[in-house]
């Protein structure tokens, strides 16, 4: 799996994705990194599939990868996982395809293993059960166990939210007390600034192109990674290209 992930990163180049590449995908706030963490300090990706605004599976997956990379970059040093908070308001069977869901599961499980701490499926409609039946086979048992169904009218299931989040910072849409919501203009500016921050991250210790990407690997993957000196040298050119791309965007 490690070699496959490294090869995928070399080909897909997730660290080179810039805000300008995926800005259209972000317009509705269908995925964004929240301005708060959970009680364990894990960054939170808010997902609202009911706000799907494009028909491009390629663009949708690219934006998801961008958001995952951004969440990882913003993790505390002692943290390796994130939380997915999925709001199903406005969701229909047309909101997301089985193809995109399958690809999402593949990327998460194959290239970001153990990065998901927990996934909260908040108020999924009855019809979602049919969709879940179709996509459940794509999920590994350990991933499936991390997905928690939570309903606002079920006090017992809401305890999951209360145990994980500080309700004072959690969005009211999820039973919290914050009305901050999503502001596209402000978020776009934040992401552009963090693209520059990512370049600085790459520059900070780049004996190989994996100095930044390796942070996207779990601890067990990093321990297993043993790149020889020749491999490092051969990839320095790609690192320079990534730096130049991000530099131009800034």
Same-domain pairing of 66 and 36: yes
User: pTM score, two decimals?
Assistant: 0.82
Question: In 56-208, at which residue ranges do the beta strands (DSSP E only) sit?
Answer: 82-87, 116-122, 147-150
Domain boundary among 136, 165, 182: 182
Identify any residues that bridge with 178 across adjacent strands, giving them in sequence order: 171
Range of the domain at 235: 191-249
Q: Please calculate the CA angle 199-204-208 and round it to the nearest 5 degrees.
A: 90
Identify any residues that bridge with 144 across adjacent strands, giving them in sequence order: none
Domain boundary among 182, 216, 239: 182
In this predicted structure, the answer to whether residue 206 has a pLDDT above a threshold of 50 is no
Q: Region of 231 please: left (phi>0), alpha (psi -120 to 50) or beta.
A: alpha
Same-domain pairing of 152 and 243: no
Domain boundary among 133, 155, 182: 182
Same-domain pairing of 146 and 214: no
Helix axes 2-12, 98-111, angle to 10 degrees: 120
Of all residues in the chain, the percent with pLDDT exceeding 70 is 80
CB-based contacts of 167, cutoff 8 Å, min separation 6: 161, 175, 176, 177
CATH number at residue 121: 3.40.525.10
Whole-angstrom Cα distance, residue 179 to residue 170? 8
pLDDT band at 198 (very low <50, low <70, confident <90, very high): confident
Report how many domains make up the chain.
Answer: 2
Q: What value does the mean pLDDT of the chain take?
A: 85
In this predicted structure, the answer to whether residue 235 has a pLDDT above a threshold of 50 is no
In this predicted structure, the answer to whether residue 51 has a pLDDT above a threshold of 90 is yes
Instruction: Strand 116-122: give its sheet, edge to edge.
Output: 31-37, 43-47, 82-87, 116-122, 147-150
In this predicted structure, the answer to whether residue 216 has a pLDDT above a threshold of 60 is no
Whole-angstrom Cα distance, residue 120 to residue 162? 12
Distances in Å between the Cα of 12 and the Cα atoms of 18, 137, 143, 229 are: 13, 25, 23, 23
pLDDT of residue 31: 98
In this predicted structure, the answer to whether residue 152 has a pLDDT above a threshold of 70 is yes
Same-domain pairing of 153 and 46: yes
pLDDT of residue 67: 98
Section 213-231 average pLDDT: 47
For residue 31, the surrounding DSSP H or E stretch is: strand 31-37
Whole-angstrom Cα distance, residue 131 to residue 55? 18
pLDDT of residue 234: 45
DSSP 61-75: HHHHHHHHHHHHHTS
- For the chain, how long is the longest CA-to-CA vector? 59
Identify any residues that bridge with 121 across adjacent strands, giving them in sequence order: 86, 149
For 193-210, b/e burial (b = at least 16 CB within 10 A) is ebbeebbebbeeebebbb
CB under 8 Å, gap of 24 or more: what pairs does 100-103 form?
A: 100/57, 100/60, 100/61, 101/135, 101/138, 102/135, 102/138, 103/57, 103/61
């Amino acid at each position: 799996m490690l070699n496959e992930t490294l090869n995928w990163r070399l080909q897909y180049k997730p660290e080179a994705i810039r805000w300008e590449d995926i800005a259209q995908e972000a317009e509705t706030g269908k995925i964004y990194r929240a301005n708060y963490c959970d009680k364990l300090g894990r960054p939170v990706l808010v997902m609202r599939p009911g706000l799907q605004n494009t028909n491009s599976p390629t663009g949708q997956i690219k934006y998801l990868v961008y958001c995952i990379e951004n969440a990882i970059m913003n993790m505390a040093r002692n943290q390796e996982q994130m939380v997915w908070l999925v709001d199903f308001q406005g969701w229909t069977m047309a909101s997301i395809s089985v193809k995109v869901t399958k690809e999402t599961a593949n990327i998460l499980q194959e290239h970001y293993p153990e990065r998901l701490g927990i996934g909260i499926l908040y108020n999924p409609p009855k019809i979602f059960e049919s969709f879940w039946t179709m996509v459940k086979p794509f999920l590994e048992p350990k991933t499936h166990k991390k997905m928690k169904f939570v309903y606002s009218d079920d006090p017992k299931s809401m305890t999951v939210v209360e145990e994980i989040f500080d309700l004072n910072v959690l969005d009211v849409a999820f039973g919290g007390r914050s009305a901050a919501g999503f502001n596209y203009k402000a978020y776009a500016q934040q992401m552009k600034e963090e693209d520059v921050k990512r370049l600085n991250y790459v520059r900070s210790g780049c004996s190989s192109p994996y100095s930044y990407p390796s942070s996207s690997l779990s601890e067990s993957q990093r321990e297993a990674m043993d790149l020889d000196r020749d491999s490092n040298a051969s990839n320095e050119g790609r690192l320079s290209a990534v730096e130049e791309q991000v530099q131009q965007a800034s």
